[in-house]
Amino acid sequence: MVIAALLWSVEAKAQETEAGEEPPPSDDTTEVEAEDGAATEEQVDVTREARDEDLTTGEVLVRARAEEVFRAGGSVHVMGEEELEQLDYNDPLAVLTQVPGVYVRTEEGFGLRPNIGIRGASAERSRKITLMEDGVLLAPAPYSAPAAYYFPLMARMTGVEVTAGPAAVLYGPHTVGGAIDLQGRQIPGRREGRIDLSLGNTWYGRAHLYYGDSNEWGGFLVEALHLRSSGFHELDAPPGGDTDTGFHRTDIIARGELHGSLDRDFYHRLEVTFGLGLEQSNETYLGLSDQDFRDNPYRRYAATQLDRMEWWRTRVQLRYQIESEDVELTVTAYRHDFERTWYRLDHFCDTLAITPAGELDTCGTRVGFDRILQNPMIYASQYERLTGTLDAEPSDAPLLVARNHRIFAVQGIQANGRVSFDTGPFAHRIDYGARLHFDEITRNHTGDTYYLLQQQMVLQNAGLELEGNHDSAWALAAYASWGVTWERLTISPGFRTELIWLEHEDRYTGRRISSEQYAFLPGVGVQYALLPELAVFAGAHLGFSPIGPGQEADVLPETAWNYEVGARYGRIDELTHGQLTYFISDYQNLSSICTLASGCTSDMLDRQFNAGAVLVMGIEAEAAHTFVVDELSIPLAASYTWTWSRFMTSFFSTNPQFGQVEVGDHLPYVPEHQLSMRAGFTWRMLALHTNGLFVSQMRDVAGQGDVPDIELTDAYFMLDASASVEVYPGFRVYVRGENLTGAQPLVTRRAWGARGTKPVLVQGGIEIDIR
């Protein structure tokens, strides 16, 4: 059920063999030796920092340097700490749109629950891509319920690695589109810390601090990050009512490690990580009618005044690592617990009947909010009761507010390793890994009914039973890739295999469904270095996305043959790099899952269906160069993605994003054009950076030909900028702004109704370094 593909090609050691020379000493290593030949503490600090740049964790290279990406046999995009600090985004969607081939769909404007897709893979709750932090799966339940209701805070990340196409051999279970690994702050090689405080409009605030230190035998890191805002939506509410539509988010991380001596043949490291995450956000799935959106894109209807998401998450990881010049092995054991309750407006009841206790409530025939907001004249009564312009009568059916309480647990152990060796003129690198994983989700959904009277929600009936079930998954995964380099040619065949056991139990119906899935997924990548700085590459692999628990017997897993061909240019000084890729994803079966975020009603929740054959192709281009003149540095970068998609079969689906699909229809929410541009300068103590993003119109529903306005999003351009001045060493003052043009585009119609993005946001702050 996963993917096979190619991996990082053989190390530069092969190039060194070709040249017949030993590599020069690294600029990052300082030769300091005591009289007795033992390593001094200064050498331990400096050399350890250099070695940490090469260490792997979990199933992904944590510090992928420019030359390693250059040797990769597929599309790998790396954003380092310096680049992330220049962008200084808290919203992960704003960061990921810098990468070609990545599409996003905003929901609440802050990126709390991102929708991310890669190369045409569905962006719904990011469930069709593999998400990781430090090489470990981060979704609440990656196999049994992969929807990304949790996503780490971007401000504490020091690296982002996006892998697409056959370069994703390391990742699973979802491998058609690709993988994203968020690289958290590691234990520093010497004392290091920072305090970052900022405040802006909408009472947007950030408090971020970290501190760590190391010596010759171990080290530690503690980090805390808190974000908050009172929100920018304008909630219809009675005088004196609560109009807060904001959020509070907190992440706390603690790491500790013990490590061996660096002057031995094998380097050992044992690391433990603890994490705690908390969120409270007054967010809703309900949008606006088109006319209401054009009148005021920040309006929010009174019926959503009770909507609130609350969750907590804990994380425990233990990692052991051993490394020598030619051998690496990393073993990681992990346990994540996540519990969330989203109390939110769900649907209109069309009956006053009260369901007996202990039985599921159907609440009558439902009229979806999307239909009401698309046709407010036809559904005038429901629209007026939804917006509060007309008080409900005792004879009217009430609004149901669902309390979706879900408990997740994830645990497992994974190992990955690397062996490098030479045989005559050939340089070899074998990468291998395995993972035993378990995850589960328990759903306890209840609800209350309300009337909206004088724009105030008034309780009518409490404690309705909506849904109760339990899903679980065991998965055993393994991969291997063998990279062989001869002179300028590298060939990397590989495979990935997964065996999955799923179980679904409905506590109301007593239904139990067990199933198994197995997949063997081959792939291969080829790269040829035309010049030391220029290479061409190509690859193919079989991608896979598994079926969820409890699905009907005729539901098939998502499978696609993926192909890519391209060229990349990179200078070892990292001042210039570029890549051009043409890709094809040939789906034998596209699968889709009904979610509330996609506009489905609660009775269709988590149902999966076959969407038949689909063909997606596109071009990804990126280029970056930094001009340096004395103390002046001017970084420039741009990335562009063109995407073409067509359904190759006809079918009907109850998912409102598809409906009646015909051959030749376009996929919804895949923009044809996306362009990101960055420019800036640094001079002595001053720095200025700007970022612009253009996204073309997207279809809300699959179709072809002319598109009704009610099924389109707006094309838009967003401009962000940041500026800072270092008042004295280690103390900086900065200001940053987002959406500086004040654009108010309609960016999505999901879940229910038109939704926009954030207004102009301006924040000012200070940073204090601790050394």
Q: How many residues are listed for the chain in this entry?
A: 771
200 and 309, same domain (yes or no): yes
Does residue 765 contact residue 722 with C-beta atoms inside 8 Å? no
Nearest-angstrom CA–CA distance, 29 and 66: 18
Of the pLDDT bands very low, low, confident and very high (cuts 50, 70, 90), residue 46 is very low
Residues 161 and 118 in one domain: yes
Secondary structure (3-state) at 555: coil
Where does a domain end: 157, 184, 211?
A: 184
With respect to residue 7, please indicate whether it lies within any of the assigned structural domains: no
Specify if 484 maps to a domain.
Answer: yes
Q: How far apart are CA 554 and CA 609, in angstroms?
A: 8
For the stretch 2-23, pLDDT in tens is 323 322 332 333 333 333 433 3
Residue 513 CA to residue 555 CA, distance in Å, equals 14
Which of the four pLDDT bands, split at 50, 70 and 90, describes residue 181? very high
Alpha helices (H) in 361-486, listed in sequence order = 369-374, 380-387
383 and 505 in a common domain:
yes
Question: Any idea of the CA torsion for 740, 744, 750, 754, to the nearest 10 degrees?
Answer: 160
> Structural domain of residue 703, as residue ranges?
192-770
Q: Is residue 240 part of a domain?
A: yes
Residues 176 and 212 occupy one common structural domain: no
Q: 221-275, pLDDT tens digit by residue? A: 999 999 999 999 999 988 777 889 999 999 999 999 999 987 788 999 999 999 9
In total, how many domains does the chain have?
Answer: 2
In a domain, 427, yes or no: yes
- The verdict on residue 8 lying in a domain is no
SS (H, E, C) 653-719: CCCCCCCEECCCCECCCCCCEEEEEEEEEEECCEEEEEEEEEECCCECCCECCCCCHHHECCCEEEE
Q: Following CA atoms 29, 33, 37, 40 in sequence, which dihedral angle do they give, to the nearest 10 degrees?
A: -90
Judgement on whether residues 401 and 444 belong to the same structural domain of the protein: yes
In a shared domain, residues 196 and 164 = no
Contact 457, 388 (CB under 8 A): no
CATH number at residue 53: 2.170.130.10
The CA-atom distances, in angstroms, between 230 and each of 245, 760, 761 are 6, 14, 12
The predicted model gives 505-533 an average pLDDT of: 92
63 pLDDT band (50/70/90 cuts)? very low
pLDDT of 25 above 90? no
207 and 132 fall within a common domain:
no
CATH number at residue 397: 2.40.170.20
Last residue of a domain, one of 153, 184, 215: 184
Residue where one domain finishes, among candidates 133, 149, 184:
184
Q: Tell whether 1 is covered by a domain.
A: no
Which residue, 153, 174, 461, is CA-closest to 279? 153
> Can you give the C-alpha Rg of the chain in angstroms?
26
DSSP letter for 470, please.
E
CA distance 556 to 571: 45
Distance set, CA 121 to CA 179, 229, 388, 574 (Å): 11, 32, 39, 31
pLDDT tens digits for range 76-111: 888 999 999 988 899 999 999 999 999 999 888 899
pLDDT average, residue stretch 630-651: 94
DSSP state of 646: E
Is 627 part of any domain? yes
Whether residue 204 sits in one domain with residue 163: no
200 with 153, same domain: the answer is: no
Q: Is 280 found in the same domain as 158?
A: no
Local structure of 368: helix, strand or coil = coil
Instruction: Please report, to the nearest 10 degrees, the dihedral formed by the alpha carbons of residues 242, 108, 753, 604 taken in order.
Output: -100
**Any domain includes 446:** yes
| 472 and 557 co-located in one domain | yes
Instruction: Verify that 130 and 277 share a domain, yes or no.
Output: no
Q: In which band, very low, low, confident or very high, does the pLDDT at 355 lie, cut at 50, 70 and 90?
A: low
